[in-house]
Amino acid sequence: MYKTLICAEALASHIDDPKWVVLDCRHDLMNLAAGREGYAIGHLPQAVFADIENVLSGAKHGPDGVFRGRHPLPQKEALAEALRAFGIDDDTQVVAYDAHGGMFAARLWWLLRWLGHEAVAVLDGGMAAWQATGQPLTTGVASRARGRFSVRAPFVPTVTVQEVMDNLEHGRRIVIDARAADRFRGENETIDPVGGHIPGAKNRFFKDNLQADGRFKPADQLREEFGALVDDPSQAIMQCGSGVTACHNLLALEVAGMPGAALYPGSWSEWVGDSSRPVAKG
């Protein structure tokens, strides 16, 4: 069972295995059609496209009309139904990939663990690693029989915006922001309406989890780097702009052997949806 990362060579040996499902998670936050367009041009054999906006995220506003962020969590049963349509069973090995160093594939990795599915991994190095080994792409659309996926107890915790607010007063938990350093400081903000960060948060840009070739750094190096920020992973909260790249830091922590951190799904986009919440800069 692969539970964090898988190399291209290992995936290639299982690409036609009926008990494996490969999901293409390519996306572009500034061009929402880019992922599906890229899939049509060429994707891994047998891969099915998993849409970040419409499948791996839920409604931006709750039943009460309150803004929940740009990529709030989907309803569990709705996501489970999508996974069944992808052909996923309870014992299926799932592999997620993208072309962005795992930026979006890690979201799917986390979501499946949130639904209690342990056999899910991210293709280390993504499409570039796949093609570097000489493996082919295809334009054919995979057709799979409907799966029998069931929602089980989650492997991963979450926190609400109220819990993050309460933490400002008590300060027992450390908040780690996965955005680029300039956006964390409140500079060059082009996605959300307000720049800055949650007071007291620390910055760990998700791309710092990667080597120059786009693969994840070794476990011991990740453990050393995260250890400088986090004493107890179970007391850490991971966030980003909208709850997507925070999952990259959560995957890196898992690779480092430091499990237990929680995701704040709404992240910065939800936080600044209410002007009464404090903002720090610099």
Q: Mind telling me the catalytic residues?
A: 240
Distances (CA, A) of 10 to 19, 32, 95, 181, 195: 14, 31, 11, 35, 42
Q: Which of 2, 6, 8, 1 is nearest to 137 (CA)?
A: 8
Distances (CA, A) of 188 to 37, 179, 193: 28, 12, 11
**DSSP three-state, residue 27:** coil
Q: Which of 5, 11, 2, 10 is nearest to 256 (CA)?
A: 5
> What is the H or E stretch that residue 22 is in?
strand 20-24
Q: Tell me the longest C-alpha to C-alpha distance in the chain.
A: 54
Asked if residues 238 and 178 have their Cβ atoms less than 8 Å apart, the reply is yes
Single-letter code of the amino acid located at 134: G
Distances (CA, A) of 68 to 25, 59, 115, 230, 266: 22, 8, 20, 27, 6
